[in-house]
Each structure stands twice: as structure tokens, then as C-alpha cells.
Amino acid sequence: MTREDALVYWIGTSEDEIHFIDSILSAFDGVACVRREFKLENGDSVYKVYVTAGMEGEFLDVMERLRTRADIRSVTKGEDNETLPRA
């Protein structure tokens, strides 16, 4: 999957939970790639996820099911041109 072929989503969750979410998504081969890039929105962290084109429905289904097990505050479609603040 190249970045140009992927959709961007932002998942609102904690640092601990993004590791759990990443491990679950890794089990679904080719659906998504969780990045450790994050930004703050209203004091909450949101993490970037690249979703394979054509797999958006599967990704959203997994996110919906994960909401019963993980602290997922939001799942928002975004753009790859969003710049992240430098530390």
C-alpha cells in the first residue's frame, strides 16, 4: 500500500489503546496501517491510520466492533496533507 493509494483516518484514543488497536488491525492483513503520528484536538490525542483503498468498509466495521473493547472516542476521515506539530 502506498500513501497515494490509501485513505487517511484519525482515531481518537490513548497511547496505550493505539497499541491494542494496531495489533488487532495487523491481524486483518492489508486493511490498514496504524501510524504513531498524532495530533491534539481539544486536548485529546488522535492517531493517523492509513486505510487501504477498497477496504474502508472493513476498516469501519472493525472500528465499530473494537469500540466495545477499546477506548475509541472518535474515528474521523481526514486528509494526508494535514501537518503535524513538531515537538
In this predicted model, which residue has the larger pLDDT, 84 or 6?
Answer: 6
pLDDT in tens, 5-60: 799 999 999 999 999 999 999 998 889 999 878 999 888 999 999 999 899 999 99
What is the assigned CATH class of domain 3-78?
A: alpha beta
Strands (E), 1-87: 6-12, 32-41, 44-52, 74-78
Q: What is the pTM of this model?
A: 0.84
Give the single-character DSSP code of 20. H
49-79 pLDDT, tens digit each: 999 989 999 999 999 999 999 999 999 999 8
> β-pairing, 74-78 with 44-52?
unpaired
